[in-house]
Structure 1
């Protein structure tokens, strides 16, 4: 599912942190070595408190917001909300969403200075983790819950932040595995779970199949067989409720006054949900800036049901589940029936939503006790497999063109079974330009899946006389699983030749090493100018 695990070569610590870095909220949980005594960490001034469920205590969440002032200083979390800066131009919000999309948008942080969402995420996470380690000095390990399809650099970036905060060991767990563990379930082979996650910006549905019941790796032996997403985040429902309250109370203000009332309701909507979880009606008081009085706001479960129906949310639910099921069917998993439905994300706190899910899957258990802290709980109780061999699974080679034979060949950099981190260089090569005046030279890395009976690529790519590319050797004699596949195609590593290179002239000397996170890194020296153009630059995270 998500090849972003890390295994340490040390004993398990007594306690560890589990981190759910979500789109709208950050939840940090702490648990003992046996997984017991779980609780979420409160950060006064930054976090908000929500009522827990069952025998659990309150759940503390940090809104994922960071606001920069004119001097580049920042405030985070609830500080931003209380100051009324949530929608300010110098506030970064929905950080993880834009981070994983690698958005090019930049946030103004001071005089003529703008930063990326990755910079903002680093400031936010580093600040909170540093405070967490100060308040939990005996905790030297952290487990991050990782969503699907993250960029290659994401896990290593989290590790850098963890180490900077003074955390000696860090691990990752796939979010589906964290959710299932957080609900205290032990998947068995062939079981299917339906995971519903509803955050600020998205409503997502995933069918998850358990393939290896005893697997303790970061994906828990789980595979997502069907998933779908809709852009109706729970913030939309908050807005629907706020507008409904304004209309029912005839508070038809315009401009700044209307905005203050609206923000007063949406800022305390979590209180309404918390009350509705235990009663049929909830009430909060909202200050009316026109009359100077406090207006009692009442919302019942029936009101929320009506609001969801009026805005077509049941159709959103049906449509999203249907698309996820269709994806599973297209992958050969027809007629999948989950043995349990697990709800996570703050939107799943709404009782009416749970009832809609129960109506969709009559007779299937719907688990919704840990919608806000389930992911962090699962991460905190995760037991990394510390004795897992620290070896690379597949072969990795640099592909190059051989003009004499007029075909592509491979120069192996890392062989299957290689240990990481490497004791020294794993490879040292020199590359040349393919034509006069070439200014950019690439490092085309290929991955070759290694099976027990195949230790070399079954096929090679050969240029034909028409200028195209064909597979060398009878195609039927070579298994598709052993074909060389581009590894760093999405994030190519480029070397800039200045002055431009000459054809056939040795131009760059490259040395490769493997770091402790299974990442292949390159140091490049320009042989013409003698300059070091790259130093331990990331090429690709290996498997």
Structure 2
């Protein structure tokens, strides 16, 4: 029985499974009939139809004609703090079905899962809970655009910008591939699940550094809804409308005009459209503003890291939406002179995840950062002091040291943490169930308070007003957990390390 690494890329519309027998060996996509399209087409439709005995999965749903009532588009819901039970159950049923249908000739000793950038923490928690039930020694997680960059096969040192437009999300990531010898510099140990560390070889350590990333909950299915409405669909379109709109959208990626047949409620209707009309819909709904916001966030992270956007070696467009000519033209116009790669857009992510071999190490970065609310004595008001900025590498190599003063008679200090929000020109809102891009209000970016309230640090000995009281050290571990330890400068009492929460 062959041992190796299994990679699963759960997508909003399709899912792929990859297998790599040994580190350094080429990976392969696994066809898992009857839930994949065919014995030679490994794509698994992300569909689940509950039945009395056992759920129908993927291609089984299509073969049974139950796609109109099946659970679909559940991946985006898993990025929410409290995903709907139906979405969680459907996703777990699909992953369970994949695991049960793995060939008997393979035995995964390592499982790599992919996750979107937006909502990474909540999605990670759900995946961790599922992965703990599987009989596998090591489990790792990598964000999807980073995995796509690793699957590009670019030489060491390459700076890669990846735009991943899936069915439910759009992610942008800037990745530097570094170190080692060979044709591709993949990464590993992005996170550690179930208490298992991903092993790494000190003899041939190679790293990939994520410089900046940004994401939004708008993707190919959002475009399908916009396009269906433009074609005359009702306000709450049926699945048949969305599928027909998607089919026409895909055909317009290959030709200037086309038509498809819509069959609904026993009636047949021809839907006609042109590429120019589709692109006008994208413009009308603000997709250029959204992409510009994501690019601005990544560019700001690049500047903080000392990287220049004009040094990008390649631009990758992956995911189903990457085949849109409008999207490719947008990338070419905003990043002129860089080669654009859109080959194997569906397989790029899972191939990159397979590249996370045990001989690799990960250096990832924070998307949002974390700030501490403190009293500004000069301004005589509360303000947010950044602890770790967006783009900060984690795990942190050195702790951040901070000295806090107290007032006379103060018997405790309260630490209040928050996540700074990016200064975006647009935001995603849902109007009558349709994702809509709306111009964001002007003003300073806000801070979202961490759940759980304040952390209280008791002070036992009296001090003078304004005297330095606590020397605190903050850091981020391999689980993306923010930890704190320190010393009471008045009593010289050591404050033991404590976990404050998960940093985004």
Normalising by the smaller structure, the TM-score range is: 0.5 to 0.7
Question: What residue in structure 2 maps to residue 397 of structure 1?
Answer: none
Distance 1:59 1:235 in 2: 22
Which TM-score applies when normalising by structure 1? 0.56
Match of 1:523 in 2: none
1:17 maps to 2:3: no
Aligned-pair CA distance for 1:335:
5.3
2:376 aligned partner? none
Contact 2:229 2:235 in 1 (8 A): no
Is the 8 Å Cα contact of residues 194 and 340 (structure 1) preserved in structure 2? yes
Q: What corresponds to 1:8 in structure 2?
A: none
| Paired residues for 1:194-205 under 5 Å | 194-205=161-172
Following superposition, the deviation at residue 364 of structure 1 comes to: 0.7
Question: What is the CA deviation profile of residues 123-176 of structure 1, one whole-angstrom value per residue up to 9, with x for unaligned ones?
Answer: 331122211x1465466553323455435755643532431xxx5654444544
Q: Say if 2:151 is the partner of 1:207.
A: no
Deviation by residue 1:406-452 (Cα, 9 ceiling, x = unmatched): xxxxxxxxxxxxxxxxxxxxxxxxxxxxxxxxxxxxxxxxxx9887x
CA positional deviation for 1:199: 2.0
1:349 is matched with 323
- 1:61 Cα deviation after fit: 3.3
Larger Rg: 1
Give the aligned partner of residue 217 of structure 1. Answer: 188
Structure 1 residues 385-534: aligned runs within 5 Å = 385=359, 465-469=409-413, 483=473
- Matches of 1:24 and 1:365 in 2, distance apart? 28
Name the SS of the counterpart of 1:217 in structure 2.
coil
Match of residue 493 from structure 2: none
Comparing 301-310 with 482-491, greater Cα deviation is found at 482-491
Distance (Å, rounded) in 1 between the aligned partners of 2:293 and 2:74: 27
Partner of 1:75: 56
The answer as to whether partners of 1:226 and 1:328 remain within 8 angstroms in 2 is yes
Q: How many residues align?
A: 384
How far apart, CA to CA, are the structure 1 residues paired with 2:112 and 2:227? 36
Whole-Å Cα distance in 1 between the matches of residues 357 and 160 of structure 2? 21
Q: Residues 135, 311 of structure 1: CA spacing in aligned structure 2 closer, same or farther, 3 A cutoff? A: farther
Matched, 1:101 2:76: no
Q: What is the distance in 2 between the residues matched to 1:118 and 1:261? A: 24
1:288-367 to structure 2, matched below 5 A, reads 295=269, 297-329=271-303, 333=307, 337-367=311-341
- How far 1:310 moved relative to its partner? 3.9
Show the counterpart of 2:222.
236
Q: TM-score, normalised by structure 2?
A: 0.59
Per the alignment, residue 121 of structure 1 pairs with 91
| Cα separation, 2, equivalents of 1:263 and 1:450 | 48
DSSP-derived class of the 2:43 partner:
strand
- Aligned mates of 1:458, 1:354 — CA distance in 2: 46
Comparing 372-381 with 218-227, greater Cα deviation is found at 218-227
Deviation at residue 339 of structure 1 after TM alignment: 1.9
CA distance in 2, matches of 1:228, 1:284: 35
- Matching of residues 177-192 of structure 1 within 5 Å: 177-188=146-157, 191-192=158-159
Cα deviation 1:503-525 (Å, max 9, x = unaligned)? xxxxxxxxxxxxxxxxxxxxxxx
CA drift of 1:13 comes to 4.9
Determine which of 17, 24, 31 is the counterpart of 1:41: 31
Find the aligned partners of 2:214 and 2:146 in 1 and give their Cα distance: 18
Distance 1:179 1:14, change over 3 A: same
| C-alpha displacement of 1:313 | 2.5
Match of 2:347 in 1: 373
Matches of 2:225 and 2:356 in 1, distance apart? 36
Q: Which residue number corresponds to residue 263 of structure 2?
A: 287
Q: For residues 276 and 31 of structure 1, what CA distance do their matches in structure 2 show?
A: 36
Q: Is the contact made by 2:188 and 2:356 (CA closer than 8 Å) also made in structure 1?
A: no
Deviation at 1:356, TM superposition (A): 1.9
Whether contact under 8 Å (2:332, 2:338) holds in the other structure is yes
Matched, 1:61 2:50: no
Question: Cα RMSD (Å) of the superposition?
Answer: 5.1
CA distance in 2, matches of 1:15, 1:161: 19
CA distance in 2, matches of 1:92, 1:43: 20
CA distance in 2 between partners of 1:301 and 1:59 (Å)? 30
Q: Report how far residue 466 of structure 1 moved.
A: 0.9
Gaps of 5+ in 1: 1-11, 50-56, 108-116, 389-447, 493-537
Work out whether residues 200 and 233 of structure 1, in 8 Å CA contact, stay in contact via their aligned partners in 2.
yes
Which consecutive residues of structure 2, in runs of 5 or more, have no partner in the other structure? 191-205, 362-394, 415-456, 484-498
Distance 1:282 1:18 in 2: 37
Structure-2 residue corresponding to 1:29:
18
CA contact (8 A) 2:404 2:469 kept: no
